[in-house]
Structure 1
Amino acid sequence: MSITPPVGSPISVASVPNLRDAGGYSAAGGSVVRRGILYRSTDLGAVTDDDAAVLEGLGIATVFDLRTVAEREVRPDRIPAGAKEVPLDVLADRDPSAAPAMMLKLLEDPVLAEQALGGSEASGHLLSSYREFVSMPSAVTAYRALYTDLARGFDAPVLIHCTTGKDRTGWAVAALLLLLGVEEDVVFTEYLLTNEQLLPALQPVFDRFRDAGGNPDILLPLLGVRREYLEAALTEMQASFGGVENYFTRGLGLGVGDVDALRERLLSRD
């Protein structure tokens, strides 16, 4: 007899950390977010043969890649056999010098990292990024396409990812769960699971940084997630649109029919 794992449990795929099902959460009106439909993770650039079989076992039919063009070129996905890939560059309008590629330079250079991250700059950078997820034109375009595809007959199950699966992906999943009627505190709990499921896999990064003479603690704001990051996006959403429903309709331009379809497809009332 199969046992359903607890909601939010990590799926053990060593080359794809931070992989989990975003379903199983209680939502409005006694409904539940369907399991086995919506997954989230890091990129698929290092998938091994054994792990590829595990991913294929999930039945993933569509992979939404929220990374920049440069990120995809450096580390192209190995998508599950038979799946289609949909690239959606959330940060296309971002200054390239502030793009995720800059993060890689910081991880390799403790002196540069100390200059950039030694104070509150890392947190400030992430707070700004999360506000941009709500309002930056390329983010609006990317998230509109994502949710529209999910509403209009997408091939499921789907996997949403960026590079570390924590920020661009974190907002994508958090906003959707809120729209589906999941309580905000529960959405924060799901979001913060990344600290448990991603950071241990990044221990070699912290170790290399320490070995190069750096203080690994300064990387935590950059490589982990914090409640205030998601709060920044929610505050921006509230100030600009007055709530999650208006964010989807006025901010992203989804029709009422698409919003209804998202709820119909992703919620179970059994």
Structure 2
Amino acid sequence: MWEARWQHVRLIARDGGGGNAHPVTLSKSDIRNGLAQLRLDNGDGEPVELLTADERVFVAEQLSKALAKAGPDQDVSIATIGMRKTILGLNEPRLTTLRAFMGTDGLNLILGEAQTEPPNDTGTYQKVDPRLVSLVEGRRAAPARGDARWKISSAANSAVALRRSDWAVIPAAAMAVPEPGSEAAQKQAQTQLEEMQRQMQQMQQQMKAAPASTAAPAPASPAPAAPVAVEDRLRTLDQLKAKGLLSPKEYAAKRKQIIDSF
């Protein structure tokens, strides 16, 4: 399907299990949305994105084409390279391989190589013949390697399911969540913020009108519900921050605004 040095997208034989739901049409944006929710975790520090933003663009475009051409007995083999920060803070190429296929439960991805150094004997990639290098591919039939340094995890509040430490399933619900930083995500964040502001204004108006009702010997006013509303707004704000839709400065300003209104 596509190949360039150590990177490729290929149709390969299905390695067990029932037939795949191929061919299938998946949009590039849906695939990017799903990939953006996957993380790699080695248990030492914060999890990192499974694929960089550039890799997600490349993989989504090629995988969308491959799934449309694949048959029920074919999987898609992916090898991609992204620039990652190393211990010294330098950006260096790192290789990731995946086996992808569509099942009744969603888009399945099985991890093979995870952030490994591309084969390189000279520092220039010029003397290693790719045909002589065997990259590890994820497999249904083989259990996750016990010595694997990285394990797949998912972003907070994600609908992604983890079948094994090296196997993730991205259902349609997860693919419907806009990729952080995308235009759709920005629009969604703006809509949520506008709704929060509308509710805050409404709550402020109710609080201003509250003193007039104190003269009447009526039961307590609905003001006690305000803390719950504030908690809901703060929770929504935290979710927007976790998705990367608010900068730290915007988050702090909105949080102060909500608390001040209470």
Instruction: Determine if the TM-score, normalized by the shorter chain, exceeds 0.5.
Output: no
TM-score (structure 1 length as normaliser): 0.26
Q: Which has the larger radius of gyration?
A: 2
Select the structure with the greater relative contact order (CA < 8 A; seq sep ≥ 6): 1
TM-score (structure 2 length as normaliser): 0.27
* Higher strand fraction (1 or 2): 2
* Higher helix fraction (1 or 2): 1
